[in-house]
A and B are shown apart, each in its own frame.
Chain A
Amino acid sequence: QKEVEQDPGPLSVPEGAIVSLNCTYSNSAFQYFMWYRQYSRKGPELLMYTYSSGNKEDGRFTAQVDKSSKYISLFIRDSQPSDSATYLCAMSEESSASKIIFGSGTRLSIRP
């Protein structure tokens, strides 16, 4: 079993819809939680970063972490065709904060 599990999709929704992306994990030592966006043939770029449990909002994006359930989510409101990409969840431990463990990514397509 992988340390981080993520539904690979693909997920296709109409423009303007609310998108929910999720990951589960097994390592209770993870303290740092991130979401990256990766466009085709590009490197990942950091979208959101959260420490421990709680919610964080940035524009149309909201990240949620539930450490008791070992479950993290990314919500995208008013989705746009430009949001079409692969979304990767990522996590790391306090003791080795630089070593990031990524999920396998969810391919998201927003239909105009």
Chain B
Amino acid sequence: GAGVSQSPRYKVAKRGQDVALRCDPISGHVSLFWYQQALGQGPEFLTYFQNEAQLDKSGLPSDRFFAERPEGSVSTLKIQRTQQEDSAVYLCASSFLAGVGDTQYFGPGTRLTVL
């Protein structure tokens, strides 16, 4: 594919439901990032993978949030027992390597609404 893709683009969940958000990075990109963007705010870092290794998960807001990238390509962000404050756009980005000199390419995001 030409860029980072995310699915679904929109997700509505009832409070307490579990959700899974998928990210397909650009082929061959080593690094993958997840961000949370609340309405009217900038993206906030959640977690970072280098290949299949999760090197930084300091931004995950609670133990209800879990991310994986088992084969070093596709990644899934899972949110258990969703709460209204989880409503946001979840952005995925990938970069060829790991340094800041490597541009992070963002997907269009998944807009999660928790009712």
Contacts and interface: CB of A to CB of B under 8 A. Distances in A.
Interface of A: 4, 6, 8, 32, 41-46, 49, 88, 90, 92, 96-105
Nearest to A102: B42
Interface stretch (B14-22, B61-69, B74-82, B92-100): B92-100
A101 B99 CA distance: 15
A96 to B, nearest CB: 7
Contact of A41 (B59, B98, B108): B108
Nearest to B44: A102
Contacts, number: 62
Interface residue tally on B, bucketed by range = 20 to 34
B98 A98 contact: yes
B4 A43 contact: yes
Contacts of B103: 46, 49
A98 B100 contact: yes
A8 B42 CA distance: 10
Nearest to B45: A99
B107 interface: yes
